[in-house]
C-alpha cells in the first residue's frame, strides 16, 4: 500500500494514549469527537457525510463502516454517508454534518471549494487536514 506501517502503528498508539479515559477531557480528542457527534444528533442532525481527498477516498468508506457499526442501533445515531458527490449547498437539508478528511499535498482544490461553501449555507463542516507520509 506504500505506507510506513511502523509510523502508522506509532500514531495509532499515540492517539490511543491521548484518548485514554483518565486524560483531562479538554485534551481528549476521542471524547471531544463523541460529545460533538452527540450534540449534533441532539440538535437534529441525522447524517454525517464523509468527504475524503482523492488519494484516501477509500478511508471514507472504511470510516463509514466503522461509524455505522459503532452508532446506536435504536435509530438515534448519525447515519454515515461516504463517497457521495458534493452538490450545491442548497440541495441539502438541515440534517447533515460534513467531515472532510483532507490529505495535505493531494489534489484538493475541487473539494476545498465545495466544502468551503457548505458553512455559508448553514451546514456544519469540519475539515481535518492529514499529513501525507
Cα four-point dihedral sign 66, 69, 72, 74: positive
Instruction: Tell me 92's DSSP state.
Output: S
The whole-number pLDDT of residue 132 equals: 63
CA–CA gap between residue 13 and residue 8 (Å, rounded): 9
The whole-number pLDDT of residue 109 equals: 92
CA–CA gap between residue 9 and residue 1 (Å, rounded): 15
The whole-number pLDDT of residue 9 equals: 85
Strand order in the sheet with 79-82: 79-82, 47-52, 96-103, 125-130
CATH class of segment(s) 45-133: alpha beta
C-alpha cell at 59: 478511508
The whole-number pLDDT of residue 69 equals: 81
The whole-number pLDDT of residue 113 equals: 93
Residue 78: phi, psi to the nearest 5?
Answer: -75, 140
Model-level pTM greater than 0.85?
no
CA–CA gap between residue 89 and residue 117 (Å, rounded): 7
Residues of the chain with pLDDT under 50: none
CA–CA gap between residue 22 and residue 77 (Å, rounded): 25
CA–CA gap between residue 14 and residue 7 (Å, rounded): 10
Residue intervals of the chain classified under CATH 3.40.50.10490 are: 45-133
The whole-number pLDDT of residue 128 equals: 80
Amino acid at each position: 500500500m506504500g505506507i510506513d506501517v511502523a509510523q502508522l502503528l506509532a500514531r495509532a498508539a499515540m492517539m490511543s494514549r491521548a484518548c485514554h479515559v483518565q486524560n483531562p477531557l479538554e485534551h481528549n480528542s476521542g471524547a471531544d469527537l463523541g460529545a460533538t457527534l452527540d450534540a449534533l444528533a441532539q440538535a437534529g442532525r441525522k447524517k454525517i457525510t464523509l468527504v475524503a481527498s482523492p488519494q484516501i477516498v477509500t478511508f471514507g468508506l472504511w470510516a463509514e463502516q466503522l461509524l455505522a457499526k459503532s452508532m446506536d442501533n435504536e435509530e438515534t445515531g448519525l447515519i454515515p454517508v461516504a463517497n457521495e458527490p458534493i452538490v450545491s449547498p442548497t440541495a441539502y437539508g438541515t440534517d447533515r454534518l460534513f467531515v472532510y478528511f483532507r490529505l495535505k499535498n493531494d489534489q484538493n482544490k475541487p473539494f476545498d471549494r465545495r466544502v468551503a461553501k457548505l458553512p455559508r449555507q448553514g451546514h456544519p463542516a469540519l475539515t481535518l487536514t492529514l499529513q501525507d507520509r
